[in-house]
Chain A
Amino acid sequence: MAQTTAAQEPTRRDFLFLATGAMGAVGVAAAAWPFIAQLAPDAQTVAAGAPVEVDLTPIAEGQIVKLFWRGALIFVRNRTPAEIEAARATPLDDLKDPEPDQARVMEGRENWLIIFGNCTHLGCVPLDFQGQYGGWFCPCHGSVFDTSGRIRSGPAPINLPVPPYRFVDDGRIVIGETA
């Protein structure tokens, strides 16, 4: 290469180099976009995630029913007065992810606990009525949940989340819609 004036002042070649480089970078990013975006849940999967209606009348007191919404497992638990009482009597200081039971159920329908059924640690399905608090026990790495689905011990970082749902009437809820 011959000596150029590059060191002293920018030349047209420097400009072209930078401009082309910048366009190239934008082009690569634009081309990469579809390749990343295709990983997202596709339209069909999203459509299959429409709200589901659940009939509560056949669920007896003390029973847990499992169903799927958007491919994710949901627990619907008809809690007994004793179970509600146990959840409410727990001081918030004892909780890893402090949340009162009142904030996890709907007022006047305290018996209905509706939560996601995959352990917030790594996604296993906790076993019903197991563990020290009569809530759930996760067999995978030993997380223990109480009758409000709150994490009490073990590696799970947060409580089993409450999905969006609303009551249509006393006997029916729709999961995936809020009131």
Chain B
Amino acid sequence: MNALSLWFSELKETFISCFITDDRWEWLVEGFVNSVIITVFALLLGLVVGVILAAVRSSYDKNEESMKIRGGIGYYVLKLLNAIAKIYITVMRGIPVVVQLMIWYFVIMVSAEDIPIAIVAFGLNSGAYVAEIFRGGIMSIDNGQFEAGRSLGFSYFQTMVHVVIPQTVKSTLPTLLNELIALFKETSIAGYVGILDLTKAGERIRGITFEAFMPLIAVAIVYLVTVVLLTKIVAIIERRLRRNER
């Protein structure tokens, strides 16, 4: 037997013990599905939180001057909400996600299911980033668009809905999709609280087989392929958006 075929048969054995024995590949599939579930629902939660925060922050920025002059309780309510939103964003962006995840898991939602905890932790965190993406998007829309809406008689809210937000969604969509990609990779820390995500699946195989190379490379390839595919999709969407423009 020559060295090459010896090496090859060892490789085959490792492969079998890593993925085939006891259907261990199913862990990878389950882990991948969990990673996707956490990412998608966390992003949805993040979008909801982000839209609310961005609405508060940009309403304050846009109306502060005129509301101050007009006075009234609305101004103080908005000022308070804006302060809360700012604190929220600062806290969420200032603490590592893995620490936030552990706080949710071990302190706040102790009796809840694993995956919902991860969705809440990643979603509320992502909301802070989405909020700043949206706020940046709203602020980058020419104020003339807003003034034209108001001068026709639209309320602040109507102007946002008909004019500003449609343009913001379009301009921030690529950034939001990139946030989705970042979030997908970020969920790889879910294993810290015992969730079987893609990374954890590789870890579990390594723990049983004492083989590090193959399970970790497999995990790495799945992440890479997924991210490359998503990036391609983002590029296509970006190109579409640009073509519809001008």
Do A and B associate with each other? no
**What is A's interface to B at a CB cutoff of 8 Å?**
none
